Structure 1
Amino acid sequence: MTRRWRGILIAVVLVAALAAALAWFARPEPLAVATRAVDRGRVEASVSNTRAGEVEACQRTRLSTILGGRIEYLGVDEGDRVEAGQVLMRLWHQDLSARVQVAETQLATARSRAREACTVAVNAEREAERQEALAARGFVSTSRVESARTDADARRAACTSARADVATAERQLAAADIDLGRIVIVAPFAGTVAKITGELGEYSTPSPPGVATPPAIELLDDSCLYVKAPMDEVDAPRIQPGQSARVSVDALPGRHFAATVRRVAPFVSAEERQARTVDIDVDFASQEEARGLLVGYSADVEIVLATREDVLRVPTAALRTGNTVLVVGADGVLEERRVQTGVANWEYTEVSAGLAGGEHIVTSLEREGVRPGARVVAEDAARR
């Protein structure tokens, strides 16, 4: 090789080396991304309510008197504990009490008359029997016997009529007592007084059909609680009574309560400007654990549909469209990998094929520049 060509070759090598050096120093810095190692663990398939549910009391009633009237007695305050059968409110009732007294007097009179009539009837029957015995021996005439028997039959009829009057008086007294019960509110079960509408001396009006009148007293049993929650109609066919669930309450962040699905509504609710939903009732696994929750708390329900133990899993947020993930290669370059998935929830997704345990995948997919072929570095490594 001549000296001229040797010089050209050296120049070409120097230019190539310089270009390579410039390309090396001009290369973009690797992107810092959040990564997660593929591991093994539990994955649950679950569904959650579409809107906030609500903590409810197993027994809750809005009580009103049957008749309207002025409040004469109010034996409780809001927040009081009451027992079943305890009188909570009574309206003015002097007129009804007077009717009860009249009915009691009429009943006493009817019973007295019945005793008198029946006593006379017994005596008349005995007299008729004596006359029949004397007639058999020829001491009295047949007409005397017939007169005695007729009198006995009449007295017996009078006794029966008097007893019927007693039964009528008893029913009249029972009706008066029923009328008296129309102005009294009695606790149907033990519980807590949630709300009272009205004060002593005010007029209490019962709620007629179709008219939204506030109840006089609202009573609830907070010793037994459950959660009612709306579920999307698409998820409803997969929900069955007896399935396990978890309840979270906004007022107690980070705390979860074990529960069980008790009821799935047999119809779909359609509310204006909202999704079509199916209401479910969820019972707390432990009422003692739920004690202290307030009726009306907003709550969320997560129903467990299926559970897989010790399976390969990835964060659900790491999945891209088409069930692909970005795997961090040994050289720091991202590789797109398609995976086969199984049971999934909002936190984890089961991977049945496409990944191996220990491989690192990107979870910060929203960052600019994160795509297949990009050079990346884990955030922890970037900080070091």
Structure 2
Amino acid sequence: MQPKLVIVLVVGFLVAAIVWFSGVLDQHLAPGTKQAPAPYSGQTQRVGSEPVVAYEAVPGQVIAQQNTKVAARVMAQIEQITVRAGDRVEQGQVLIRLDEQELTTQLQQAKAQVQALQASFTQAQKQLKRAKELFVQGLISQSDIDAATANHDNLSASLQQAQQRQQQAQIALGYATITAPISGRVVERFAEPGDTATPGRDLLAIYNPQQLQLEFAVRERQAVNLKLGDMRQVEIPALGVSQASELVEIVPAADSASRSLLVRLAAPQNAQLLPGLYAQLQLPLPQHEAVMISPQYVYSYGQLDMVLVVERQQLVRRYVRLGRVIGDQVEVLSGLRPGDEIAIDAKPSRL
């Protein structure tokens, strides 16, 4: 046999063996292999883009335009506090009574001193008048006149000072009864009967519920486009309130740290509105093109959102990031492009 023929036969035998063992000639799938999925033949919807107006949600809070802290002007023990947090008060209503004993004693002492000095001053007036008469008659010298005049002037000054102290003691006694400076509602009570009230220490906090506002720190780029009288949408989630409110105040100074300006809007008329409640201001952003789809085509898995798209007639999971819900559609921020095909009839369980 020719050597070349032997080589050809050996090579042919090896190729046949490799083909046989590789399973190319086998009509059945090997165990553990997965059959290719069938092409998707259901309905689809082509994704497009459309112009939308997005809104920036600016966080803020309800504030009281008129609020005040009630404090004592004299140091004394608290005898009675007539209100608690949540109570409504009228301007001039008695809120707190302090112990008047020490203040009354000080007033009585001041009065007694004034009476004593008044008697001495009256006597000094008489002496000065008599000294002047005697001096005219030549019975006393000029030095006697000078002494009588000095005594008269000293007692006059002392009497004036005593009268001022009496007036101050009278005013201090009046401070023992503390009344409401405004009509409103008590926010908090900082002291109890038996405590010692000192000047500058807050005892009560009161606000006027008829003068509430909404306050927001708006980015300076947005704030410079606002003007007084603008109507903007505001929301108070805790009360389910959403309405347009008027811009009533813009603080004319920017915060250098946050690069924002404080703006205040009129608060909604709601009996449940309270200072400190969370609020949101909706400010429109420039119009832009966005991919919008129906939320029914979005499937959520924990914090992930997914849609089914068709690529080369096959279903493919596509994870997306969603934005605002506008009407009956939701904005897709990433994960879908205009022209993609969404599978309408498919469900994730089929994959």
TM-score of the pair, normalised by structure 1:
0.55
Unpaired segments of 5 or more residues in structure 2?
1-38, 293-323, 345-351
Match of 1:372 in 2: 339
Match of 2:304 in 1: none
Q: Distance in 1 between matches of 2:169 and 2:43?
A: 91
Match of 2:114 in 1: 107
- Is 2:234 the counterpart of 1:263? no
Note the C-alpha offset of 1:317: 8.3
- Partner of 2:238, secondary structure, is coil
Of 11, 31, 37, which aligns to 2:44?
A: 31
Aligned AA (1:113): S
Q: Distance in 2 between matches of 1:113 and 1:207?
A: 36
Are the equivalent residues in 2 in contact too, given 1:228–1:279 (CA < 8 A)?
Answer: no
When residues 303 and 371 of structure 1 are mapped into structure 2, their CA distance, relative to the original with a 3 A threshold, is closer
Match of 1:58 in 2: 65
When residues 118 and 192 of structure 1 are mapped into structure 2, their CA distance, relative to the original with a 3 A threshold, is farther
Are the equivalent residues in 2 in contact too, given 1:124–1:148 (CA < 8 A)?
Answer: no
Q: Distance in 2 between matches of 1:34 and 1:369?
A: 8
Q: Distance in 2 between matches of 1:364 and 1:317?
A: 15
Match of 1:95 in 2: 102
Of 274, 279, 291, which aligns to 1:294?
A: 274
- Is 2:148 the counterpart of 1:161? no
Note the C-alpha offset of 1:163: 1.3
Q: Within 5 Å, which residues of 2 pair with 1:1-384?
A: 28-32=41-45, 47-49=56-58, 51=59, 53-65=60-72, 70-125=77-132, 128=135, 131=137, 143-144=138-139, 147=140, 151-177=144-170, 180=173, 185-201=178-194, 203-204=195-196, 215-232=202-219, 235-239=222-226, 243-264=230-251, 266-268=253-255, 276=258, 278=260, 280-284=262-266, 289=269, 293-303=273-283, 319-320=290-291, 366=332, 371-372=338-339, 374=341
Q: Distance in 2 between matches of 1:243 and 1:365?
A: 27
- Partner of 1:79, secondary structure, is coil
Unpaired segments of 5 or more residues in structure 1?
1-25, 132-142, 271-275, 307-315, 322-345, 349-361, 378-384
Aligned AA (2:101): Q
Aligned AA (1:319): A
Match of 1:352 in 2: none
**RMSD after superposition:** 4.5
TM-score of the pair, normalised by structure 2:
0.59
Aligned AA (1:188): P
When residues 112 and 193 of structure 1 are mapped into structure 2, their CA distance, relative to the original with a 3 A threshold, is farther
Are the equivalent residues in 1 in contact too, given 2:94–2:178 (CA < 8 A)?
Answer: yes
- Partner of 1:216, secondary structure, is strand
Note the C-alpha offset of 1:72: 0.7
Q: Distance in 2 between matches of 1:363 and 1:83?
A: 51
Per-residue CA deviation, residues 253-290 of structure 1 (Å, 9 max, x unaligned), is 253142214133735376xxxxx4635241418x8x35
Are the equivalent residues in 1 in contact too, given 2:325–2:331 (CA < 8 A)?
Answer: no
Q: Distance in 2 between matches of 1:194 and 1:171?
A: 38
Aligned AA (1:302): Q
Q: Distance in 2 between matches of 1:200 and 1:278?
A: 44
Q: Distance in 2 between matches of 1:177 and 1:127?
A: 42
- Partner of 1:198, secondary structure, is coil
Are the equivalent residues in 2 in contact too, given 1:54–1:227 (CA < 8 A)?
Answer: yes
When residues 120 and 303 of structure 1 are mapped into structure 2, their CA distance, relative to the original with a 3 A threshold, is farther
Aligned-pair identity in percent equals 23
Note the C-alpha offset of 1:370: 6.9
Note the C-alpha offset of 1:374: 4.6
When residues 112 and 46 of structure 1 are mapped into structure 2, their CA distance, relative to the original with a 3 A threshold, is farther
Q: Distance in 1 between matches of 2:284 and 2:134?
A: 87
When residues 365 and 347 of structure 1 are mapped into structure 2, their CA distance, relative to the original with a 3 A threshold, is closer
When residues 375 and 291 of structure 1 are mapped into structure 2, their CA distance, relative to the original with a 3 A threshold, is closer
